[in-house]
Amino acid sequence: MKPARTKTPRKPPVKKGAQTTLKDPVGVYCRVRPLSLLDQECCIEVINNTTVQLHTPEGYRLNRNGDYKETQYSFKQVFGTHTTQKELFDVVANPLVDDLIHGKNGLLFTYGVTGSGKTHTMTGSPGEGGLLPRCLDMIFNSIGSFQAKRYVFKSNDRNSMDIQCEVDALLERQKREATPNPKTPSSKRQVDPEFVDMINVQEFCKAEEVDEDSVYGVFVSYIEIYNNYIYDLLEEVPFDPIKPKPPQSKLLREDKNHNMYVAGCTEVEVKSTEEAFEVFWRGQKKRRIANTHLNRESSRSHSVFNIKLVQAPLDADGDNVLQEKEQITISQLSLVDLAGSERTNRTKAEGNRLREAGNINQSLMTLRTCMEVLRENQMYGTNKMVPYRDSKLTHLFKNYFDGEGKVRMIVCVNPKAEDYEESLQVMRFAEVTQEVEVARPIDRPICGLTPGRRYRNQARGGPVGDEPLVSEMVLQSFPPLPPCEILNINDEQTLPRLIEALEKRHQLRQMMTDEFNKQAITFKALLQEFDNAVLNKENYIQGKLNEKEKVISGQKLEIERLEKKNKTLEYKIEILEKTTTIYEEDKRSLQQELETQNQKLQRQFSDKRRLEARLQGMMTETTMKWEKECERRVAAKQLEMQNKLWVKDEKLKQLKAIVTEPRTEKPERPSRERDREKVTQRSVSPPPVPNAPPIRLRHRRSRSAGDRWVDHKPASNVQTETVMQPHVPHAITVSVANEKALAKCEKYMLTHQELASDGEIETKLIKGDVYKTRGGGQSVQFTDIETLKQESPTGRKRRSSTAAPAQPDGTESEWTDVETRCSVAVEMRAGSQLGPGYQHHAQPKRKKP
């Protein structure tokens, strides 16, 4: 009785954001190749296993005015000149191959200038296989015994795989074998001696924990990116000697999982390392031929070798591959050999070569720009768009940087001094790249079938390789048949022997049939007992399940109660968090308001202090101004009081003279010279500049136009209200004479005021020339004096005794009484040169009403 086959559970959909996104930085390694000549200058030094140091060559120091600078760069690991291919593979590529076998993608590319050892690192040389053949060897060492038969997996044009049953795969194999293609790889063909030493890896390497309940298939493809166009190096193009067709470029497309792939790219299924490397070598040869036809060289394009591993689980019996496309797992490892970056002025490129170099540098620059934008987005939290579409290289591998697999880069450098500037740019790019973080790929879901299906099928007699079947073993246990060839018509022994042998076989078969029937009956009884036991077990288990379901239902109710309680608590917590947030916002707003008020108070306090200082300064300035004004007014008042006092003294003198003079005598005219001696000159202005040289008596006219003047007006001068005022253009007005003002001018003018004889203020303008002395000072030589005098139009004139008109009564007019004479004396103006006794024509003093 064969157990019923259960349906395989489908792969549960992976929800984005369900797991915490973990990120790993891009692994950047550095490999330093040895110098080709021992006497070459070296500009790169390995400090330790993670650091290299660049030295500026001698020539560059001379060109840059002796600027010597040493720069250190750190990597995940540095491989020196004595590193073997095995050591490099174990550290860099081995983890990627292990992830490939466990369903994860990987990207490994070599970067560096031309001649830095990129191709040697990736492909290798005879006797020293590179990373590519070692990756293939590890893959087939790990899945060799679990590979599916050829054509069980079949690629399509949608970047996915279809699965065929054993019969369809067998028919396709027979069809392909009926039409042999010499270019189709086969394990029976002899290995090409050109690369036999490259794939002959001595060290055995194998992945751990390979899923033994799955079958695997390996598909490889080989493309190149030249002048930003993609070409398939494995495409079979019919050769036309008359009109050869150039290879057609391929397009990039996006599959249903948003992964980029090359549409129409040839994928070849391989079963061994030799087959895979033979496909690669064929692409290399074709690439060189294509390059020759299109004027391309091997270093003028980026090459991409893709290894696609297809994995599908066995069915529940462990006999055949599970015919469900959803259970197929596809992982891919891309090995990229980037074109060398160099300056065109060193390569002397022209024409097509110059265009190729420009496209190479443009694609590498786009790769560097993408790395810089990714780093900026991750470091500063920005959301800038990464320019993947600017180049086919970055557009093809954008899924790796978005979290579809691990990314590893090997920076190959040549330590010779001629490559210093290119190596410096390569180091800077590597420094930017290793700061970029890539999301860690999500582990694939586990198939719901029971593990160990393959070996259980083999243990119960399932097909195991080339072992004989049970029917063949039964036939071999029968007695052998005698020779059945009859050569003589009279032979009577052959047929009896044959009949005897057949009878024995029949008897043996009958015995075996009886034994089989007995065993079948016994087995049926055992099965019946087993079915009864199973039924009893099922009943017992059903009772237990019912009990467990009751317990589970009770637990579910408890869980629902706890969930409700949990939701209630979460709601309360949310309310408390919102309340806390509101309080914190209020606290922040109050703190900000407090800080604002404090700042406002500080500003007001600062403004108050500035205002106080300003008011203090204004008070001081105003105080000094008013003190000077008071001093000036006091001086003017003193001068006015002195004038009034002098006028009173004169009046009293004249009154005394009139009173004491006898009547009969006529007043005699005093001498003017004597009166001038009696009058005291009172000066109200300071004297001219002291220590001035003597004035030469020269009379010349005033020249005020064209020269600069020093207008010296002492502070004690009284402001007159006359219409005519002295005005000197281009003058520097000072109150005290100083050397600074005299040094800037050619003329000097002093305004001097004094009291005239008639009591009015007389202003004198004393002018002079400014001369420089031998000692470096200035001296003034006075040349002219201008006098400004004010007179009253109502001044009284004296009457002449000889020309006095006759009185109406015929008598001579004389001063006969003291009152009249006193009134005349009192009306005389201050400062008059006339003394008592002079005759005046005056009116009698007007009496106040």
Residues 564-578 have pLDDT tens digits of: 999 999 999 999 999
**pLDDT, averaged across the chain:** 78
User: 25 forms bridges with which residues in the sheet?
Assistant: 437
Cα(632)–Cα(718) distance, integer angstroms: 9
**97 vs 473, which has greater pLDDT?**
97
Amino acid identity of residue 537, one-letter, is K
pLDDT band at 725 (very low <50, low <70, confident <90, very high): confident
pLDDT band at 37 (very low <50, low <70, confident <90, very high): confident
pLDDT for position 420: 86
pLDDT band at 12 (very low <50, low <70, confident <90, very high): very low
Structure letter (DSSP) for residue 402: I
pLDDT for position 67: 55
Instruction: Flag whether pLDDT at 47 surpasses 50.
Output: yes
- Tell me the average pLDDT across 827-835: 42
Is the separation of the CB atoms in 771 and 781 below 8 Å?
Answer: yes
Token pair belonging to 292: 């020759």
Nearest to 430 by CA among 14, 163, 31: 31
Cα(285)–Cα(584) distance, integer angstroms: 72
Read off the pLDDT of residues 502-558 as tens digits, 9 standing for 90 and up: 888 888 888 888 888 898 899 889 888 888 888 888 888 888 889 988 999 999 999
Q: What pairing do the DSSP bridges indicate for beta strands 406-413 and 27-32?
A: parallel
Cα(146)–Cα(692) distance, integer angstroms: 127
Is the separation of the CB atoms in 196 and 131 below 8 Å?
Answer: no
Nearest to 639 by CA among 795, 829, 830: 830
Read off the pLDDT of residues 406-432 as tens digits, 9 standing for 90 and up: 999 999 998 988 888 888 889 999 999
Instruction: Flag whether pLDDT at 672 surpasses 60.
Output: no
pLDDT for position 30: 95
pTM of the model: 0.54
Cα(233)–Cα(835) distance, integer angstroms: 142
Cα(729)–Cα(725) distance, integer angstroms: 13
Instruction: Flag whether pLDDT at 186 surpasses 60.
Output: no
3-state SS of the chain: helix, strand, coil percent to 5?
40, 20, 40
Is the separation of the CB atoms in 19 and 442 below 8 Å?
Answer: yes
**436 vs 485, which has greater pLDDT?**
436
CB atoms within 10 A of CB 198: 21
Nearest to 273 by CA among 391, 192, 368: 192
Read off the pLDDT of residues 341-360 as tens digits, 9 standing for 90 and up: 766 555 555 566 677 777 78
Q: What is the DSSP string of 755-792?
A: E-TTS-EEEEEEEEEEEE-TTS-EEEEEEEEEEE----
Instruction: Flag whether pLDDT at 303 surpasses 60.
Output: yes
Cα(113)–Cα(282) distance, integer angstroms: 26
Is the separation of the CB atoms in 456 and 80 below 8 Å?
Answer: no
pLDDT band at 380 (very low <50, low <70, confident <90, very high): confident
pLDDT band at 179 (very low <50, low <70, confident <90, very high): low
Is the separation of the CB atoms in 27 and 409 below 8 Å?
Answer: yes
Alpha-carbon torsion 255, 260, 265, 268, what sign? negative
Show the beta-strand stretches assigned E in 144-295.
Answer: 153-155, 161-163, 214-226, 229-232, 249-250, 252-254, 260-262, 268-270
Instruction: Flag whether pLDDT at 592 surpasses 60.
Output: yes
Cα(438)–Cα(21) distance, integer angstroms: 10
Instruction: Flag whether pLDDT at 298 surpasses 50.
Output: no
pLDDT for position 48: 92
Structure letter (DSSP) for residue 712: E
Cα(772)–Cα(780) distance, integer angstroms: 9
Cα(509)–Cα(242) distance, integer angstroms: 73
Is the separation of the CB atoms in 219 and 332 below 8 Å?
Answer: no
- Tell me the average pLDDT across 584-599: 93
Instruction: Flag whether pLDDT at 308 surpasses 90.
Output: yes
pLDDT for position 381: 86
